Amino acid sequence: MAKNTLSSRFRKVDIDEFDENKFVDDHDEAADQQGPDAVEIDRDMMAALHIALRNPPINSKNPAIKERAQAAVLRVLTSFKSSDIEPAVKSLDKNGVDLLMKYIYKGFERPTENSSAILLQWHEKAFAVGGLGSIVRVMTARKTV
Amino acid sequence: MSYHSFLLEPISCHAWNKDRTQIALCPNNHEVHIYKKDGNNWSKIHVLKEHNGQVTGIDWAPESNRIVTCGTDRNAYVWTLKGDVWKPTLVILRINRAARCVKWSPKENKFAVGSGSRLISVCYFEQDNDWWVCKHIKKPIRSTILCLDWHPNNILLAAGSCDFKCRIFSAYIKEVEEKPAPTAWGSKMPFGEVMFESTGTSGWVHGVCFSDSGNRVAWASHDSTVAVAEGGKTAVCASLTSETLPLLCVTFITENSLVAAGHDCYPVLFVYDSNKAAMSFGGKLDVPKQSAQKGMTARERFQNLDKKATTDSKEAVLESVHKNSISQISILNGGKAQCAKFCTTGMDGGMAIWDVKTLESAMKDLKIV
């Protein structure tokens, strides 16, 4: 047997890191994107939604910031009454609807007992306004929320 | 508005001859078929067999009557009509991945091929060696080039790529042409120089088009947006996100209006307002079919609710002319300044010819500026 079958350290090397043709995204500095301020959220629901959707941590590479933002938005979304969802979505502009879709899909990734049903209701209303285009933009965006 | 179904397979690409009596298309295989129009029918008059891989791009030069084709076999051929037969000439592109799109320049002395090798091959004919030679534009392209369009000055080339950017390059070849005059995109144009690079849209750029004057460039990208950039001291970009599926091809029909089509199977009009630097949705350009409204019985209603969780009575049948995605759009009459007719081909193997005047009168709110 050949000598080099003894060591299998080569299996732990990530060959893609050394690929010279590897595509690297443009770096946009994260600056102050800290995600929405969790404290202000408890009051008026409509305002809460707008606050939650402000300052999305899109350029940030810090997973903690993204988690916090996602948790804050999810809290707002689940505390809405079903009948209030439609006017809330109507009050958002185009970019807001796209951003809301991104958070909704992020929420789908980690379902809890109640979240999926509420998120599906939000999804239906957001889809009525944003259409298939907003979903396509969630799928194709390089910078996720 | 007329529709002709050529095949059951997708039409990969098509090109028209100068007087629009013949169309060359690729029926999703290694060949190119040329059809001639006689009366209301189309008859196949030539079959061009030389490629070893699917033909991904065809362009027919109107003045010199030459056809250039490129395919996944990494080759391009220039076809000339000798008597009654099309004779191919191989062009060595020096690429190691498939070629994706090809376009003759306006003066027809060069053509550009976009490929998966992350570069554009600009080919010109060298008289001394009686041979097509190519030069590569590599930087800063980082992924496959999906679409190309030439500026009317024969020098600038717009390229849409899978690295989410639309760029304008200079393809100035000093062996075949004079130094160009300054344009809205810049004045220094050495070969391979990037005159403009888009920002703001993400998603693969599927279709790109210069306007008739060359001062504007429009591109459609996979995140369901269409954008127009206007050259100047600082390039002004305007983009529009849409609620539909991504668009695959786009073309200017006047200096301010664009028609685009894609996965939604119908062409759409967009209008660009340069004063506000904004784009707006002009309308859906499909002929609506009057679908009979049947009443639903209570039984059907509950069945629908059970099967599809919806009480909608809409059937899952496309009402558009094309029954599958439209992949290419080409201008037939009038040029990009005053287009009178344009043609679309798609994955349903059909070709539709659209008349702008009839569309304008059929759709009440449509205004083509």
The pLDDT-based confidence of A35 (bands split at 50, 70, 90) is low
Q: Pairing relation of β-strands B326-333 and B278-284?
A: unpaired
For chain B, the first-to-last Cα distance in angstroms comes to 21
Contact: B242, A137; criterion CB under 8 Å: no
Top CATH class, A44-140: mainly alpha
SS3 assignment, position B106: coil
Give me B85's structure tokens.
């037969």
Instruction: Give the per-residue pLDDT at B310.
Output: 67
- Rank A49-63, A68-82, B15-29, B349-363 by mean pLDDT and report only the highest: B15-29
* Residue in chain A nearest B244 by alpha carbon: A133
**Chain A nearest CA to B261, separation (Å):** 14
- B246 and chain A in contact, CB less than 8 A: yes
What average pLDDT score do residues B213-225 get? 94
Percentage of residues in chain B having pLDDT higher than 70: 94
DSSP B300-364: HHHHHHHHHS------S---SSSSS-EEEEEEEESTTTS--EEEEEETTSEEEEEEHHHHHHHST
Instruction: Give the per-residue pLDDT at A32.
Output: 45
* Residue in chain A nearest B204 by alpha carbon: A140
Contact: B244, A131; criterion CB under 8 Å: yes
Domain ranges of chain B: 11-304
Instruction: Give the per-residue pLDDT at A124.
Output: 93
Instruction: Give the per-residue pLDDT at B329.
Output: 95
Contact: A140, B223; criterion CB under 8 Å: yes
**Cis? peptide before B140, omega within 30° of 0:** yes
**Chain B nearest CA to A133, separation (Å):** 4
Residues linked to residue B279 through DSSP beta bridges, in sequence order: B272
Lowest mean pLDDT among A19-23, B140-144, B254-258: A19-23
Lowest mean pLDDT among A99-103, B37-41, B323-327: B37-41
Residue B176 φ then ψ, to 5°: -115, -5
The pLDDT-based confidence of B150 (bands split at 50, 70, 90) is very high
What average pLDDT score do residues A103-126 get? 90
Tell me which residue of B169, B127, B129, B124 sits closest to B145, measured CA to CA: B169
**A60 vs B230: which has the higher pLDDT:** B230
* Residue in chain B nearest A131 by alpha carbon: B243
For chain A, the first-to-last Cα distance in angstroms comes to 52
C-alpha distance from residue B304 to each of A32, B122, B310, B316 (Å): 50, 56, 6, 12
The pLDDT-based confidence of A108 (bands split at 50, 70, 90) is very high
Instruction: Give the per-residue pLDDT at B300.
Output: 77
Query: How far is it, in rounded angstroms, from Cα A112 to Cα A21?
Result: 40
pLDDT digits (tens, 9 = 90+) for B247-304: 999 999 999 999 999 999 999 999 998 888 889 988 888 766 655 556 667 887 788 7
Any idea how long chain A is? 145
Query: How far is it, in rounded angstroms, from Cα A94 to Cα B369?
Result: 25
pLDDT digits (tens, 9 = 90+) for B189-209: 999 999 999 988 889 999 999
| Residue B143 pLDDT exceeds 50 | yes
Q: Where are the beta strands (DSSP E) in B10-98?
A: 14-16, 22-25, 31-38, 41-49, 55-60, 66-71, 76-82, 85-91
Whether A69 contacts A75, CB under 8 Å: no
Count how many pairs of residues, chain A against chain B, have C-beta atoms within 8 Å: 42
Q: Pairing relation of β-strands B76-82 and B2-5?
A: unpaired
C-alpha distance from residue B305 to each of A30, B294, B298, B308, B314 (Å): 47, 17, 11, 6, 13
* Residue B81: burial class (beta carbons within 10 Å; 0-12, 13-18, 19+): middle
Residue B78 φ then ψ, to 5°: -105, 120
Contact: A142, B243; criterion CB under 8 Å: no
Residue linked to tokens 């904004």: B278
Entry pTM: 0.87
What average pLDDT score do residues B325-334 get? 94
pLDDT digits (tens, 9 = 90+) for B98-126: 999 999 999 999 999 999 999 999 999 99
| Residue A125 pLDDT exceeds 60 | yes
Q: What residues of chain B lie within 8 A of the CB of A27, using their CB?
A: none
Query: How far is it, in rounded angstroms, from Cα B153 to Cα B229?
Result: 18
* Residue in chain B nearest A137 by alpha carbon: B223
Q: What is the ipTM of this complex?
A: 0.83
Domain ranges of chain A: 44-140
Lowest mean pLDDT among A68-72, A137-141, B165-169: A68-72
| Residue A24 pLDDT exceeds 70 | yes
What average pLDDT score do residues B300-310 get? 77
Query: How far is it, in rounded angstroms, from Cα A35 to Cα A104?
Result: 16
Lowest mean pLDDT among A66-80, B4-18, B175-189: A66-80
**Chain B nearest CA to A85, separation (Å):** 19
CATH code for the part of the protein at B11-304: 2.130.10.10
Contact: A142, B202; criterion CB under 8 Å: yes
Contact: A137, B164; criterion CB under 8 Å: no
| Residue B10 pLDDT exceeds 50 | yes
- A131 and chain B in contact, CB less than 8 A: yes
Residue linked to tokens 């800290």: A34
- Nearest by CB: A133 against B118, B202, B224: B224
Residue A78 φ then ψ, to 5°: -75, -20
Contacts of B167 (CB under 8 A, 6+ apart): B140, B141, B158, B159, B161, B194, B196, B197, B198
SS3 assignment, position B210: strand
What average pLDDT score do residues B154-173 get? 94
Give me B236's structure tokens.
């002004």
SS3 assignment, position B201: coil
C-alpha distance from residue B154 to each of B150, B173, B176 (Å): 7, 10, 11
- Nearest by CB: B246 against A134, A136, A141: A136
Q: What residues of chain A lie within 8 A of the CB of B164, using their CB?
A: 142
Q: Report chain B's mean pLDDT, rounded to a whole number.
A: 90
What average pLDDT score do residues A49-72 get? 82
What average pLDDT score do residues A7-18 get? 85
The pLDDT-based confidence of B358 (bands split at 50, 70, 90) is confident
What average pLDDT score do residues B122-143 get? 92
- Rank A86-95, B106-115, B227-236 by mean pLDDT and report only the highest: B106-115
